[in-house]
Amino acid sequence: MKLQQMKLKEELHMKEKAKRFKEQELLKETRRKQNEERIRKLKRKKQELQEDIMETRSTIMSLDEALEHEDIHHRYKHKRNAERRVLPNPPLMLKPSVPKFSDPTQFRGWKIEIESMIRSEIYQKDILKQCVRNAISGEPRKVLSTLKATATLENILSTMESIFGDVKSGQSIMEEFYEARQNKDEDIT
């Protein structure tokens, strides 16, 4: 009796296993068919897009030919009308927004701004130089008046740096003097 029950259980177990296996196979087959269908759709879409591209190219080529024909026509027409000349657009000149510099304690931040404008190369050097000159006022303006009108932007910045750059206070200089030590490789003189 127990032997029969065990056989029945094994048969049930085997049938369940076979059923799960069939379900998995069916699921795999369904996924494979879905993938094939998706691939077919993608290939169709690709073909349609390629056809659209070819059609667009031919349209562009025909438009280019028409424009070229029109351009040739206009060139000859303008040769006949010599007084009717089209001048090219002048290059766009941007005016930089340079921060004002009147407080010598703010020199470091101001200089960083100017140097970043120089490095960006967005603005023409002459325009940037004039805007920097206009942005300087107060005590620093007196220093600017000592420079030549032909001074470059680098000359202006180096002169301002030498005067308003990192200057040590009297107390820090004295502190450095009193804390100085002779190194082993230094002689007495």
Residue type, 113: E
What is the average per-residue pLDDT within 19-36? 94
Query: 114 with 61, same domain?
Result: no
Query: 71 with 109, same domain?
Result: no
Query: 108 with 72, same domain?
Result: no
At a CB cut-off of 8 Å and minimum separation 6, what does 118 contact?
Answer: 128, 153
Counting the structural domains of the chain, the total is 2
DSSP H or E stretch at residue 107: helix 107-120
Sort residue 138 into left (φ over 0), alpha (ψ -120 to 50) or beta: left
Q: SS3 letters for 27-77?
A: HHHHHHHHHHHHHHHHHHHHHHHHHHHHHHHHHHHHHHHHHHHHHHHHHHH
Q: Is residue 177 part of a domain?
A: no
pLDDT digits (tens, 9 = 90+) for 103-117: 888 888 999 999 999
pLDDT digits (tens, 9 = 90+) for 48-60: 999 988 988 888 8
Report yes or no: 49 and 56 within 8 Å, Cβ to Cβ.
no
Query: 141 with 72, same domain?
Result: no
For residue 85, the model assigns a pLDDT of: 55
SS3 of residue 101 by DSSP: strand
Query: 46 with 109, same domain?
Result: no
What are the φ and ψ backbone dihedral angles of 101, each rounded to 5 degrees? -130, 105
Is the pLDDT assigned to residue 189 strictly greater than 70?
no
Q: Is residue 75 part of a domain?
A: yes
For residue 166, the model assigns a pLDDT of: 74
Report yes or no: 99 and 113 within 8 Å, Cβ to Cβ.
yes
Q: Is residue 95 part of a domain?
A: no
Domain that holds residue 3: 1-81
Rounded to two decimals, what is the model's pTM? 0.43
Report yes or no: 56 and 63 within 8 Å, Cβ to Cβ.
no
Q: Is residue 86 part of a domain?
A: no
Q: Is residue 176 part of a domain?
A: no
CA 78 to CA 86: how far, in whole Å? 9
CB hemisphere CA count around 16 (13 angstroms): 6
Report yes or no: 114 and 132 within 8 Å, Cβ to Cβ.
yes
58, 64, 65, 68: CA torsion to nearest 10: 180
Domain boundary among 66, 81, 96: 81
For residue 145, the model assigns a pLDDT of: 86
